[in-house]
Structure 1
Amino acid sequence: MARLTLEFPEHLFYYHTMMSVRTTDINGGGHLGNDNMISMISEARARFLYEARISEGRDANGIGYVATDLATTYKAEAFARDTLRFDLGLMDLNKYGGDIIFRVTRPADGKLIAMAKAGFVFFDYKAKKVTPIPEHVRAGLPAHINWVS
């Protein structure tokens, strides 16, 4: 099976947040477990969406953000009490959604820990179908974002 490769242009990253690896995030191998890395990526995504004023819940019209997929590659181990930097950005945006991209590094030594990409769409829970990204969401994102029709 071919290995997954995730590489993203530097200019796509425009948000970051920091988190510490907890002792409870460590697995039997003595490093940050993949399940807990996914939880940290999810928390970074939630912080990113909050800062962009994008609710992960349904709005008054029944429209909500839905995660569609997640790809993650691990590059190095992280350990308890490591502070990790999560850089985030957007790419491959279209009428309905796109991808949030992640780069996870350890600032103490500059080591790349992981890369990830999480797909998303907006969903109309009343009509039970994918719906275009709400205009207020588009308006809340940086002007330099490239949209694909």
Structure 2
Amino acid sequence: MARLTLQFPEDQYCFNTLLTVRVTDINAAKHLGNDSMISMISEARALFFFEFGITETAADGIGIIVTDLATTYKAEAHARDQLLFEVGVMDFNPYGGDITFRITRPVDGVLVAMAKSGFVFFNYQSLKVIAMPAEFPGKFAKVNWLA
């Protein structure tokens, strides 16, 4: 069975934030559960967008919708661990692109996970994918475009 491999250019990370693993994030195996990691990735994405002045859904119904999420786990995280989420964007296309995440435990430098989340711009009133607003890519200096 093929395994997923996620590797991203070092220079594309443009935001980072620390999040703490809560006791309620721990699963029966006594480590950070997959569902909680997805929630933490979503929180890091929301903080990233806020930092760059991007609303996930504006009053006019124009917003961003997640199209996919891929995550590879490299190490366990436990309750009260601080995790550093480094966030970037890449592979823009006319409708969206990818948000990338490198998640480490800063206390020992251990890589906990890598993730990539696809997104497109979406009109929640017409329920249709729309073109990326012209001002969006200008917020990010080092982003590649897909053909």
Please classify the TM superposition score into its range, dividing by the shorter chain length: over 0.9
Of stretches 89-98 and 126-135 in structure 1, the one that deviates more from structure 2 is 126-135
Of stretches 110-119 and 49-58 in structure 1, the one that deviates more from structure 2 is 49-58
Unpaired runs of at least 5, structure 1: none
Aligned length: 147
Partner of 1:41: 41
Partner of 1:10: 10
Separation in 1 of the partners of 2:126 and 2:30? 47
Question: Matched residues, percent identical?
Answer: 59
Deviation >4 Å, runs of 4+: none
Of stretches 120-129 and 98-107 in structure 1, the one that deviates more from structure 2 is 120-129
Q: Which amino acid aligns with 1:52?
A: F
Root mean square deviation of aligned Cα: 1.3
Partner of 2:135: 136
Partner of 1:55: 55
The 5 A counterparts of 1:69-108 are 69-108=68-107
TM-score by length of 2: 0.93
Structure 2 residue matching 1:136: 3-state secondary structure:
coil
Unpaired runs of at least 5, structure 2: none
Contact 1:86 1:102 in 2 (8 A): yes
Partner of 1:30: 30
Separation in 2 of the partners of 1:143 and 1:70? 24
Shift of 1:65: 0.6
Q: Which amino acid aligns with 1:51?
A: E
Q: Which amino acid aligns with 1:144?
A: K
Q: What is the CA deviation profile of residues 27-66 of structure 1, one whole-angstrom value per residue up to 9, with x for unaligned ones?
A: 1101111110110000000000111111111342x32111
Q: Which amino acid aligns with 1:39?
A: S
Shift of 1:126: 3.5
